[in-house]
Structure 1
Amino acid sequence: MPATYDKFVPSHFPEFLARANFHSSYIDLAELRKFDDVANRFQPSSQLSEKLNSQTLLNHCLRCYYFSIAILDAGFPSNTPSVPQISREELIKQLYLTCILHDLGLSTHEDAASHPAHDMTFEFHGGLMVYEHLRAEYAPSLVLDDSQIADITQSIMLHDVFFDAGMSSATGMLMQLSAFFDMLGYGVYGTDSMECMLHRDTVRELEKAFPRGDMVEGSTYAAQEMMRVKPNCHLTRAPTFAARLIKGVHCLADSH
């Protein structure tokens, strides 16, 4: 893996692909886990995710994290002329925190349900919870600076919004790619559109290690209920995506 990656990449998927040089190959879970020391460095965040998320959602968060690492390994843009770079260590740190915390707004735990931002669309609700958590836990000791906290928070708030122009941070793009993939499989952006990034054997191994359980059924109910209770949520602005989300994918490794 390169020592640095492009800090910003095109948000529009075709432009992003043109910037990258993807070629997926099998990478096993043991190799992906060589960066797991980040979890020990950010135990308060790991514990918060475990406390507020169901096991199904927690597994989703972990799959997203490891999918993101695999996408980095497959050829995520790096050293593009005139594009600022972010170190591999810094990016993986931000990725871990973003992935493990990105769905707190879907939690039914009392701590989430009673948060003042609960009536917002879940991405904003969760993002504000994460912002408060990161500032309280890591800002005083300078483990995270304002810019890093902002990137993590914004990546969470925008992780399920499609863009056809502009730029995303590396953290934000990887969060979106991994989350969309975990919900919709290889055909997120068109038939087998993500096959160049994620080897099917790697995906199969991650699905076994972190089972999907009732992911499809739970997501279907959550999406329908969200659109009923919060008609101004993000999903109502993307009806095609919402319909695909409700249908779901049961086995990522066999999807197209």
Structure 2
Amino acid sequence: MFTAIERDVSKALPNPKPPTAQSVRQLPTTPICRTILDYVKKELSLPVLNHSLRVYQYSLAIIKDQFDWDLSEEAVFITCLLHDLAATDGNIASTKMSFEFYGGILSHDLIMKYSNDKDLAEAVCEAIIRHQDLGESGMITTLGLILQISTILDNVGLHMHLIHESTLKEVNTKYSRDGWLGCFSDTIKLETQTKPWCHTTSIENFSEKVLSNKAKY
């Protein structure tokens, strides 16, 4: 979970392999995974929950095809489920912090409450804080990079070459995209309007890029 890799995807993966067709994976059923899934089902709207589950499925498929990583499915699952926890209207309004930073803190405390696994809590927190920290220099954890790749794939349509079209179709059939782009665009607008200092502003014209996403999922 704390393995460093280049933050720039083209450097981290200079020679991507042709992706393979993969089926939707079963969700992990460890006690902490069940607890976190039950929690987010109560906290997140259906479009956000489905987005999080798509991101999980993309992440596993891309790791299998493109990366030789020893990264637990449990850690990937929990990170994907919690990465937008602080993007709810209530959580955005409850803090002056950027949603990724607040979400990392909330997730850290939640994992410590239910598992007391310090390494897992810190790895998930780090990945969530940096999941919109896109760039061409520096390093990130493998968990953080796969979260970046999969979220920007679902939101804007980048990195589509890393995943097979049949995998995309199956995942998006299982976890509907209905309402997602408008939902996320509205969240971006809400945060940037109420917190003009927020980290989301580092992605230029982000709301417009989300709404203009024409990728074929």
TM-score, normalised to structure 2, is 0.91
* 3-state secondary structure, aligned to 2:123: helix
**Percentage identity across paired residues of the two chains:** 21
Pairwise CA distance, 1:24: 0.1
Structure 2 CA distance for partners of 1:7 and 1:223, relative to 1, 3 Å = same
Pairwise CA distance, 1:250: 5.7
- Which segments of structure 1 move beyond 6 Å, counting only runs of 4 or more? none
Task: Specify the alignment match of 1:123 in structure 2.
Answer: 100
Task: Specify the alignment match of 1:249 in structure 2.
Answer: 213
Letter of the structure 1 residue corresponding to residue 49 of structure 2: L
Task: Specify the alignment match of 1:87 in structure 2.
Answer: 70
* 3-state secondary structure, aligned to 1:239: coil
Structure 2 CA distance for partners of 1:209 and 1:28, relative to 1, 3 Å = same
C-alpha RMSD of matched pairs (Å): 2.2
Q: How many matched pairs?
A: 217
Task: Specify the alignment match of 1:209 in structure 2.
Answer: 174
User: 1:223, 1:242 within 8 Å by CA — same for their partners in 2?
Assistant: yes
Aligned match for 1:194, one of 156, 160, 185: 160
Answer with 1 or 2: which has the greater Rg: 1
Letter of the structure 2 residue corresponding to residue 219 of structure 1: F
Aligned match for 1:157, one of 113, 124, 129: 129
Q: Which digits, 9 at most, give the CA deviation of each residue in 1:138-160, with x for residues without a partner?
A: 11xxxx2x222111101001101
Structure 2 CA distance for partners of 1:217 and 1:37, relative to 1, 3 Å = closer
Pairwise CA distance, 1:60: 0.3
- Give, in whole Å, the separation in 2 of the partners of 1:204 and 1:244: 21
Letter of the structure 2 residue corresponding to residue 165 of structure 1: S
Structure 2 CA distance for partners of 1:129 and 1:252, relative to 1, 3 Å = farther
Unaligned runs of 5+ in 2: none
User: 2:188, 2:206 within 8 Å by CA — same for their partners in 1?
Assistant: no
Q: Superposed, which structure 2 residues align to 1:1-256 within 5 Å? A: 7-18=3-14, 21-29=16-24, 32-33=25-26, 36-38=27-29, 41-76=32-67, 78=68, 87-88=70-71, 91-109=72-90, 112=91, 118-139=95-116, 144=117, 146-185=118-157, 188=158, 193-195=159-161, 197-245=162-210, 247-249=211-213, 252-253=216-217
User: 1:103, 1:126 within 8 Å by CA — same for their partners in 2?
Assistant: yes
- Give, in whole Å, the separation in 1 of the partners of 2:28 and 2:100: 27
Letter of the structure 2 residue corresponding to residue 169 of structure 1: T
- Give, in whole Å, the separation in 2 of the partners of 1:181 and 1:40: 29
- Give, in whole Å, the separation in 2 of the partners of 1:178 and 1:213: 18
Q: Which digits, 9 at most, give the CA deviation of each residue in 1:93-113, with x for residues without a partner?
A: 11011001110011235xx46
* 3-state secondary structure, aligned to 1:168: strand
Pairwise CA distance, 1:127: 1.1
Structure 2 CA distance for partners of 1:133 and 1:41, relative to 1, 3 Å = closer
User: 1:60, 1:182 within 8 Å by CA — same for their partners in 2?
Assistant: yes
Pairwise CA distance, 1:22: 2.4
Q: Which digits, 9 at most, give the CA deviation of each residue in 1:195-248, with x for residues without a partner?
A: 1x2001110111111001111111121111211101011121221445313x24
* 3-state secondary structure, aligned to 1:64: helix
TM-score, normalised to structure 1, is 0.78
Pairwise CA distance, 1:16: 1.1
* 3-state secondary structure, aligned to 2:89: coil
Task: Specify the alignment match of 1:83 in structure 2.
Answer: none
User: 1:94, 1:148 within 8 Å by CA — same for their partners in 2?
Assistant: yes
User: 1:24, 1:199 within 8 Å by CA — same for their partners in 2?
Assistant: yes
Q: Which digits, 9 at most, give the CA deviation of each residue in 1:4-23, with x for residues without a partner?
A: x99332111210122x6422
